[in-house]
Amino acid sequence: MKNTKQPVGAHYGWKDWMIQRVTAAVMLVYSVLILGFFLLHGSVAFADWKQLFQNQLVRILSLLFFFAVFYHAWIGVRDVLMDYIKPFFIRLSLQVAVCLFLIVCSIWTVSILWGN
């Protein structure tokens, strides 16, 4: 294992470190906007909720938010797995599972935002 790269390691360190922070900022801004919406509407009715997500800009910002969530979750969970799961094959399997799950979530998000 001396001169080989670990395929389950974070060999793209600083880039992911930066992405983790940029996605955090995106989520923070979106969260404040959504919180503002709920504070403006004391009680949200179905019509308000539906109308909000009919807006193309809201859909795009929501997609951006969810993609930020998924990428952020991938980096975070991968780091946790690297810290606690040492056996190569178990770690790789879990990382693949996390990855696939988040890809499915991404597709699901698109279908929710544009399918309703």
Identity of the residue, 92 or 112, whose beta carbon is nearer to another protein in the bound complex: 112
Sign of CA dihedral 53, 54, 55, 61: positive
Sign of CA dihedral 101, 51, 114, 59: negative
| Binding footprint of another protein on the chain (CB under 8 A) | 21, 24-25, 28, 31, 46, 49-50, 53, 66, 69-70, 73, 76-77, 80, 98, 105, 108-109, 112, 116
Identity of the residue, 8 or 62, whose beta carbon is nearer to another protein in the bound complex: 62
Least separation in angstroms between residue 75's CB and another protein is: 10
Is-contact 72 23, C-beta < 8 A? yes
